Amino acid sequence: MKMLKHIIIALTLVIMSSCSDWLDVNENPNALTEVPSGELLLKGTLLANTQIHKGHLLRSSMYYTGGLIGLQLVQNTIYIYNFTPGDANSNWTHLYNGILVQNNKIKEISPDLDALEGIIDINAAMALGTATTIWGDIPYTEAIPDNPGLTVKPAYDNQVDVYSDVQDLLDKGITTLQNAATSLSGDGKDADIFYGGDLALWIEAAHTLKARNYLLTKDYAAALTEVVNGISDPANTMAYRPIGSVSGNSNVIFNLVESSRAGDMTANGTFFQDLLDPANANGRNHAKTDETARRNFMYISGDGGSADGIDAADAVMPLVSYEENLLIWAECLVRTGDNLGAIAKLNELRAHLRSGNAFNVVNGGDTFLYDDFVLADFQAAGIENVDAIAEDRAILREIIEERYVSGYTSYMPFNDMRRLKKSDADVIVPFPLNTATATANVERLLYPRSEIDTNPNVPSPLPDIFTVTTVNQ
Amino acid sequence: MKKYLLLSAVFVFGLIFNESRAQNRAITGKVTSATDGSTMPGVNVVLKGTTNGTITDVDGKYTLSVPSEDGSLVFSFVGMTTEEIAIGSRSVIDVVLSEDAEQLEEVVISALGFKEKRDNMSSTYSKIDADKVLQRGENKVIDGIGGKMSGVRISGTTGDPGGGANIQIRGQSTISGETQPLIIVDGVPLNNDYIRGGASGADSDAGVSQQSRLNDINPDDIASFQVFKGASAGALYGSRGINGVIVITTKRGQAGKAKVTYSSGLTVDKISRRHALQSNFGQGNNGGTWSRDAQRSWGDKIADRTGGADDVDDTGEYFVSDTGGEILYPIIGKNSKETYLDSNFDQVFRTAISWDHKLSLSGGNENTNYYFSVGRADQQGIIRNADYEKTNLTVALTQKLTDRLKMDVKSNFITSSSNRMQTGSNTAGVYLGLLRTSPDFDITHYIGDHVSGGGVVTPGRQRSYRRSRANSDNAIYNNPNWTLNEQINTAEVSRFIGSAEFTYSINDNIKLISRSGADYYTDSRIYFFPYYTAGADRRYGLLEDEVINNKEYNTDLLANFNYDITSDISNSTTIGYGLNSRFRKRNLITADNFIANFRDPLDPSEISAQQNVSSSVGRTNRRYTRLYGTTNFDFKEMILLTLGGSFENHSSLADPFFYPSVELGWIFNKSFSLPEWLSFGKARFTYGQVGNAPGAHAEQTVYEVGSFSSFSDGISLADWGGGYQLNENLGNANLKPEVKTEIEYGLDLRFFQNRFKISATRYTNEIADALLQIGLAPSLGYDGIYANGATIENKGFELETGYQIIDNDTWKASVFANYSKNKNMVTDIPGGSVINFAPGSSVQSVAIEGYPMGVFYTQSFLNDENGKHVLDANGFPQVDVSGNQVVGDPNPDWRGGLGFNAGYKGFNFNILFETSQGNDYSERTKFILQFFGTHESVGNEITLTEDLVNYKGDVFTSGTVVRGNVHDWGAGNVLLDEQYYEALQGFGDGKLNGATVVDGSWTRIREASITYTLKKGLPKTIDNIEIGVSGRNLAIWSDIKGNDPDINQFGVGLGQGIDYFSNPGTRSYTFSIKATF
């Protein structure tokens, strides 16, 4: 038995001494567990943000604003108001994992962030602002904790507070960029697929974003103070600019219609197309406006094969645009009593449209015309006021309609409809409901299934798509 | 072999009776064997009722002092009958011991590879004798064990040659981990991977079935095959024992002259069950008219056609067949009454002929034993061009280096290659194309030149029933001939298994053993789909070239101690320390969109442009160390107590883990005097824990080259020049093993001189901390985490019984039966997640809380609160589109086997029935074929005897002749015609998928054989010749008519009981001859 004891002791010693190293093979041999630079994460956060603004939820919002028709399968289900929580899963993940977690990691990896920090803050603020616009209350202050796990359940912040936090984040981003001692590295500039590391452009976009959020919370005076520093030139528009011909780097709508989902949806026969149709008596074409070319550019057949136009593989997808800045400006001016100023801003936009640089002419013979407006056009019996409403309302109506058109393939039409329904019902774009039985417009999109199933803090009772968010009540 | 046994016995019994006392008188004698008259050393001779005894010496002689003339001597030896002889006045007692066949079988191999008397073990085993593992002339180990053991479920999931089989012991024990038992060959783990094809393994619903690596070994090398079902026996294997342990020992040479055996088998395989198809109606989507290239076969009535040649348009495009140069013009009117069901079938299926040859050579002397074998199998699949071939080479050498040191080395080299056919939910699959093809379409001309009306020639185009003019690059579904002849799916495996064991006997009580093994294999696979293969990603060619490298090393150091603690209590203790390392690397290169219409799987970068070539590498690296031991107390061979445990440290575990086991047995016929007809009785109880280690490399959250998609619209960093994203799956540094805790108790009884035996076992186990992907609140920044959390339970009962009806020189007859029942339940899943094991299938097989593992989950009937169908205004059911329902359970209520064996002189007859009762099965193939209108059940016309409405509400008056069926859903008879089959059957959600689930119970003749052994009248050099004929799956009784109900679309794993264009099962007949020299 002595022998036994010796052997056991010997074996134990062997195990104690040798094995911990030998067993140390669990480090992932296939994937990185660390990245050398935070800049390597930047591009992913920008692509994630692109998906939030140009993906499934955006298209869903277009079904609810006369922009698209869902013909079959999931696209039809959403179109007839059966939007399901599962439809929101991906974009929700793009926000929290795709952007916020990555930003935290960037800050952890690169302590001396400088310009990079300003960029990622602005990018996060853009996504958060959209998220709270879509969903209302969302987790923010307790989101992405340092100790994630099965038992941690982030609380939901009030929509008003989220907007306020987003504005603070934008201010922080602007300040950081203004004070940045250095810009991005060469690789970092390549990774910044929106602005190529041009900090001044990020600052402009941040101001337009601030203006957008003030507009959404109906603080028009505050919005006016931001637009003056907002995007100042068409070339400064922040956009996802596809670089190639494979689906992974193409226009997001193109990707859908070129996939097996071809034919599931279309813009054919939409209110939007009718509004721009010169043949339509209720359209927006008149002596000073010919939307033929823009209408054909902004047409999504849904069947695929689009070589040019808004759904072409290489079609640029604006995220924060020169047009948006001008139109916020115009709206805020008219709301603060400066009708002529508002018209001037509208005309700046029309000059841009007139320049031929605002969109591609899809068919060679397509015509377009955007003559300047004058005040008389908005006075009773003017071409923009044939029904003789108040002058400022007529101007506002045209601004909102122009936002509806310029904002096609963005959340602008969906946001305006919800923002204006209560306060400015007289000037909203009168797109119809999608089913005979529907009685109300969609006021939000649903919380994702993935969050409902896992986070007991999700608002209760669960709001449906017709439940108005706080800022629109 | 016997000598070896004798020598070991000398050691063992020498210990027990190592002292002799002064006695009155001496008895001497000699013990010989009844079998061959040889003297028997090591026989235990004891004065009954005392510890006074001795053992016979090498010449079989003994001397024992006894006190008086009273009493009797008991002569016993493992494997021989025990003789009890009254001493009386004799001083010389010679004894002849005869072999006890019953007892010989009862030597089993313990979990650590030691021979033990089965009666002394308290956990349940099922053991299959070497000659019963497989019928002669066959070559697939796993299939051969089906039906022979209780609690062990073997499902041959495919009829493809060499294809894998699912082994499940006592129900499912894991959600995300490995599902197959650990296999130990000669004390060393054997890899039994089943890595599903198409390449990435992602499309488990389709691709190519691969083989289970257990089938690599030569069945002829197997000396014994045992299954350790309980957790207590598996506890020594710690984190790999959760699914049970199969212990195989392989043959070694025996001392004596060289013995040569040669066997050869010829196997004929046929399809076992065919999906019944109709040939009354032609191609067409909307009742009554023939329609070229239509998806379905709800067209015109073929008998009503005019007959004669079809009308064709010979003014424009045409097709020139590569097959025979025929020119086929587009058909514009169908006149021919010809149908092609049989000719199409025969172009795909064949009677497959397979050869199997095995040669072995063994022999040796008292110091050296050798064993050599070579095996070669050449199998044809029942699907043309499917094949499998394998060559085995085994060398084993046992050498006594010194009196105390013995060496045992063995090596195996295996090469195999196969070409199997694409199966399952797969437009490039063979069965999908064949079964959907309209009965009036001839698949013969499947490839050729398409010449357009303008004269443009497209060579090598595929022609299928949906593209009868071959006028498109998109064939939609493959012509099955294309699948057979143009696609390539080869797997070439080279494997080396080597082991070395050194045994050093320090003294008679202590042995040290060093045991090491290595198992390497390389599996090199090609998946080649040429230009114009059906499927968007294959249309312009797809090549996947994959190499899987697998290495496993295992080393154990063991010390074995045998001591008597008191004269009544003996102890055997083994302490071991083991290291194990497993490494796998998969390299996959994919090329698509070939530069031109290439027909061979060349270098991927040769045939595709650089942007269409991609590669990926996956490595897994796992290691563990084990300190384990077992100690075994034996009180008067009456009370047996075994304590075992393994302390294990695993690379994927945060902390080491201890797996304990306790086994207690009581041989109660030694405690009481019981009636003579009860030969043996043992009650046993065991408790044990086993585990499943977490998957490798789940500890850290990793960065990926991410992609961002919200609905078929992904954009990706890879296509944007690179970049990283921290994965949305959170790493978990606190992983624990999933641990199965099992309690088992049972009773072993033998009656009438051991002729009738029965063994019953009841067990309950709970798998706690089962690993799975658990959803996190995504606002944490992470969507999921691989973590411990679910709980699974199994409760079951097992019975094995056998009766030796007669056993004498002329006649032998015995019958055996087994029964097992297992009730599985997933008792807890965190967050109520539903885990799907059947991805891509409309009928899922899932883990869901409160149901058994693998239940079918899909959209089904809209029912009211009483479970009755809510019918529409026409009396038809509706689909509940609000969500999925649990609609069936593929786990059987019980399973059983019944075998009968009879021998008369040289003849031997065997038959084994097996049954599985109460298992549901999803007949998705039939369901979809009804939608397609090709299934026989929708091919008949009926004359209505009452007015009926169809799904649309159209009224058909009595007397009308219509194509369809009459059914009553609860509101009176309705007509099921095309309207119904199109609306409620078909693909995806919104269909009555629940209606595919039916009772899949089956009973089959698993195997049967007749052999004749010729011993006399042979040339001197030949010991004997055995000839035989055997069959497998000779008959299947089941409500599932279209396929063998064992066939499973999802192959080996947890997704079960679904048929969806899965390659069919086989019935086989084998003729064999075996000669021993």
**pLDDT tens profile B11-63:** 333 333 443 444 478 888 988 877 667 777 778 888 887 778 888 887 788 88
Q: What is the largest CA-CA distance in chain B?
A: 118
* Secondary structure (H, E, C), chain A: CHHHHHHHHHHHHHHHHHHHHHCCCCCCCCCECCCCCCHHHHHHHHHHHHHHHHCHHHHHHHHCCCCCEECCHHHHHHHCCCCCHHHHHHHHHHHHHHHHHHHHHHHHHCCCCCHHHHHHHHHHHHHHHHHHHHHCCECCCCCCCCCCCCCCCCCCECHHHHHHHHHHHHHHHHHHHHCCCCCCCHHHHHHCCCCCCCHHHHHHHHHHHHHHHHHHCCCHHHHHHHHCCCCCCHHHCEEECCCCCCHHHCCHHHHHHHCCCCCCEECCCCHHHHHHCCCCCCCCCECCEECHHHHHHCCCCCCCCCCCCCCCCCCCEEEECHHHHHHHHHHHHHHCCCHHHHHHHHHHHHHHHHCCCCCCCCCCCCCCEECCCCHHHHCCCCCCCCCCCCHHHHHHHHHHHHHHHHCCCCCHHHHHHHHHHHHCHHHCCCCCCCCCCCCCCCCCCCCCHHHHCCCCCCCCCCCCCCCCCHHHC
State the CB neighbour count (10 A cutoff) for residue B1028. 21
B931 vs chain A: nearest CA distance in angstroms?
Answer: 19
Secondary structure (3-state) at B5: helix
The pLDDT of residue B197: 60
Q: Residue A38's closest chain B neighbor by CA?
A: B724
Q: Would you call B709 and A90 a contact, using CB atoms and an 8 Å cutoff?
A: yes
Exposed/middle/buried for residue B1017 (C-beta within 10 Å: 0-12, 13-18, 19+): exposed
Residue A450 is nearest to which of B559, B715, B783, comparing CB atoms? B783
The pLDDT of residue A110: 84
Compute the distance between CA of residue B740 and CA of residue B742 in angstroms, rounded to an integer: 6
- Give all strands (DSSP E) within B905-1018, no chain letters: 907-917, 920-923, 941-943, 948-949, 955-956, 961-963, 965-968, 973-976, 997-999, 1002-1014
Which of A319-323, B18-22, B697-701, B985-989 has the highest average model confidence (pLDDT)? A319-323
Chain A positions touching B718 (Cβ under 8 A) are 248
Residue B149 has pLDDT above 90, yes or no: no
Q: Would you call A152 and B536 a contact, using CB atoms and an 8 Å cutoff?
A: no
Chain A positions touching B573 (Cβ under 8 A) are 4
User: B304 and B320 in contact (C-beta within 8 Å)?
Assistant: no
**pLDDT tens profile B323-342:** 889 999 999 999 999 999 99
* Residue A455 resides in a domain: no
B127 pLDDT band, cuts 50/70/90, is confident
Q: Does B23 touch chain A (CB under 8 A)?
A: no
Compute the distance between CA of residue B1052 and CA of residue B215 in angstroms, rounded to an integer: 14
Q: Is the peptide bond before A461 cis (omega within 30 degrees of 0)?
A: yes
Residue A143 is nearest to which of B557, B717, B779, comparing CB atoms? B779
How many alpha carbons fall within 13 Å on the CB side of residue A428?
20
Give the least confident one: A459-468, B197-206, B744-753. Answer: B197-206
Q: Does A42 touch chain B (CB under 8 A)?
A: yes
Q: Would you call A454 and B775 a contact, using CB atoms and an 8 Å cutoff?
A: yes
B885-888, strands of its sheet edge to edge: B835-836, B844-847, B855-858, B885-888
**pLDDT tens profile B416-462:** 999 999 988 888 999 999 999 999 999 999 999 999 999 999 999 99
User: B1069 and B268 in contact (C-beta within 8 Å)?
Assistant: yes
Q: How many domains does chain A have?
A: 1
The pLDDT of residue A175: 97
**pLDDT tens profile B71-88:** 888 888 766 777 888 888
Chain A positions touching B700 (Cβ under 8 A) are 27-28, 33
* Residue A3 resides in a domain: no
What token pair was written down for A331?
A: 């709206």
How many alpha carbons fall within 13 Å on the CB side of residue B575?
14
**pLDDT tens profile A358-393:** 999 999 889 999 999 999 999 999 999 999 999 999
Q: Residue B721's closest chain A neighbor by CA?
A: A191
Chain A positions touching B723 (Cβ under 8 A) are 40-44, 191
**pLDDT tens profile A197-214:** 999 999 999 999 999 999
A453 vs chain B: nearest CA distance in angstroms?
Answer: 7
Q: Would you call A149 and B625 a contact, using CB atoms and an 8 Å cutoff?
A: no
What token pair was written down for B760?
A: 């019953």
Domain that holds residue A177: 18-431
Compute the distance between CA of residue B630 and CA of residue B642 in angstroms, rounded to an integer: 7
The pLDDT of residue B100: 64
Compute the distance between CA of residue B1009 and CA of residue B998 in angstroms, rounded to an integer: 32
B163 pLDDT band, cuts 50/70/90, is confident
Q: Residue A92's closest chain B neighbor by CA?
A: B778
User: B975 and B316 in contact (C-beta within 8 Å)?
Assistant: no
* Secondary structure (H, E, C), B755-817: CEEEEEEEEEEEEEEEEEEEECCHHHCCCEEEEEEEEEEEEEEEEEEEEEEEECCCEEEEEEE
Residue B724 is nearest to which of A4, A40, A94, comparing CB atoms? A40
Chain B positions touching A12 (Cβ under 8 A) are 627
Q: Would you call B701 and A249 a contact, using CB atoms and an 8 Å cutoff?
A: no
B148 pLDDT band, cuts 50/70/90, is confident
Compute the distance between CA of residue B647 and CA of residue B639 in angstroms, rounded to an integer: 27
Secondary structure (3-state) at B324: coil
Residue B213 has pLDDT above 90, yes or no: no
State the CB neighbour count (10 A cutoff) for residue A460. 7
Q: Does A53 touch chain B (CB under 8 A)?
A: no
Chain A positions touching B722 (Cβ under 8 A) are 43
Exposed/middle/buried for residue A172 (C-beta within 10 Å: 0-12, 13-18, 19+): middle
**Average pLDDT of chain B to the nearest whole number:** 89
The CATH number given to whatever domain includes residue A423 is 1.25.40.390
Q: DSSP characters for B1005-1017?
A: EEEEEEEEEE-SS
Which one of A77, A150, A249 would you mutate to disrupt binding with B, by most B Cβ within 10 Å of its Cβ?
A150
Q: What's the average model confidence in pLDDT over A29-38?
A: 92
**pLDDT tens profile B858-867:** 999 999 999 9
Q: What do you get for the CA distance between the two ends of chain B, in Å?
A: 18
ipTM beyond cut 0.90: yes
Which one of A18, A20, A26, A59 would you mutate to disrupt binding with B, by most B Cβ within 10 Å of its Cβ?
A26
Secondary structure (3-state) at B525: strand
Which residue in this structure is represented by tokens 């053993």?
Answer: B513
Residue B202 has pLDDT above 60, yes or no: no
Number of H helices, E strands in chain B: 11, 63
Q: Residue A48's closest chain B neighbor by CA?
A: B708
- How many CB pairs below 8 A link A and B? 243
Q: For a pLDDT cut of 90, what percent of chain B falls above it?
A: 67
**pLDDT tens profile A241-286:** 999 777 899 999 999 988 767 788 999 999 999 999 999 988 999 9
The contacts of residue B419 (CB under 8 Å, 6+ apart) are B385, B386, B387, B388, B488, B489, B490
Q: Would you call A15 and B627 a contact, using CB atoms and an 8 Å cutoff?
A: yes
Chain A positions touching B536 (Cβ under 8 A) are 260
Compute the distance between CA of residue B517 and CA of residue B514 in angstroms, rounded to an integer: 10
Chain A positions touching B719 (Cβ under 8 A) are 244, 246-249
Compute the distance between CA of residue B460 and CA of residue B458 in angstroms, rounded to an integer: 7
**Average pLDDT of chain A to the nearest whole number:** 93
**pLDDT tens profile B900-914:** 999 998 899 999 999
A428 pLDDT band, cuts 50/70/90, is very high
A371 vs chain B: nearest CA distance in angstroms?
Answer: 38
User: B996 and B923 in contact (C-beta within 8 Å)?
Assistant: yes
Which of A29, A52, A61 is CA-nearest to residue A443? A61
Q: Which of A:171-210 have CB within 8 Å of B?
A: 190-191, 193
Chain A positions touching B695 (Cβ under 8 A) are none
Compute the distance between CA of residue B398 and CA of residue B409 in angstroms, rounded to an integer: 6
Chain A positions touching B200 (Cβ under 8 A) are none
Q: Which of B:712-731 have CB within 8 Å of A?
A: 712-728, 730
Chain B positions touching A51 (Cβ under 8 A) are 708-710, 713, 715
Q: Which of A:63-102 have CB within 8 Å of B?
A: 74, 87, 89-94, 96-98, 100-102
* Residue A10 resides in a domain: no
* Secondary structure (H, E, C), B826-887: EEECHHHCCEECCCCCCCEEEECCCECCCEEEECCECECCCCCECECCCCCECECCCCCEEE
Q: Does A300 touch chain B (CB under 8 A)?
A: no
* Residue A340 resides in a domain: yes
Residue A48 is nearest to which of B506, B708, B713, comparing CB atoms? B708
Q: Would you call A101 and B782 a contact, using CB atoms and an 8 Å cutoff?
A: yes
Chain B positions touching A191 (Cβ under 8 A) are 723
Q: Which of B:592-611 have CB within 8 Å of A?
A: 611
Sign, CA dihedral B312-B316-B317-B319, equals positive
The pLDDT of residue A6: 63
Compute the distance between CA of residue B853 and CA of residue B19 in angstroms, rounded to an integer: 59
Q: Would you call B707 and A248 a contact, using CB atoms and an 8 Å cutoff?
A: yes
Q: Which of B:832-891 have CB within 8 Å of A?
A: 832-833
* Residue A458 resides in a domain: no
Greater confidence (B233 vs A19) lies with B233
Residue A305 has pLDDT above 80, yes or no: no
Predicted model pTM: 0.84
B312 vs chain A: nearest CA distance in angstroms?
Answer: 33
Q: What's the average model confidence in pLDDT over A406-416?
A: 98
Chain A positions touching B725 (Cβ under 8 A) are 41, 44, 48, 97-98, 102
Q: Does A432 touch chain B (CB under 8 A)?
A: no
Q: Would you call B708 and A56 a contact, using CB atoms and an 8 Å cutoff?
A: no
A142 vs chain B: nearest CA distance in angstroms?
Answer: 8
Residue A44 is nearest to which of B573, B649, B725, comparing CB atoms? B725
Q: Does B782 touch chain A (CB under 8 A)?
A: yes
Distance of CA B900 to the CA centre of its chain: 24
